[in-house]
Amino acid sequence: MDARIEDFLKSHDHCRIGSIDQEGGFPHIVPIAYLYHKGLIYIPTSSLSRKVSNFTLNQKCCILVDVYENKKGKGVMLQGSATATKGHQFEALKQLVESASGWKLDAWKVGRIGKQKVDVIVVFRPQILGSNW
């Protein structure tokens, strides 16, 4: 991956992630926090979220990181696959995410009404890249 794009991904921590809704086949897109680390994107979330249930049946998804400064937009779009980690793998990735980001995931409340706990780390593996510089 181009160094400019990696620097851009490292300098931000929020994106939009799109998955395919399993009920109607429509795109499901939500804003979410992320950590970019060594070519992968880590997304703390709840196992009860729709995106996690979508990834169970279809791992294909898309991530968009974009900013607008001085009336000009710039962004990176990544397509790839996402898997939700649980159990021991979740605990290991939780430690990685917290140490690399400074986040305290046990204190986070997520979900539509902000009552769910982070109990999953989604690992996104980019395969196709697009950028707007």
> Cα–Cα distance between 70 and 68 in angstroms, integer?
7
The predicted structure's pLDDT at residue 15: 97
3-state secondary structure of 117: strand
Give the chain's residues under pLDDT 50: none
Dihedral of alpha carbons 78, 80, 122, 40, sign = negative
The predicted structure's pLDDT at residue 6: 93
Domains and CATH numbers, the chain: 3-132 (2.30.110.10)
Plot region of 97 (φ>0 → left; ψ -120 to 50 → alpha; else → beta): alpha
Give the tens place of pLDDT for each residue, 112-122: 778 899 999 99
Predicted TM-score (pTM) of the model is: 0.92
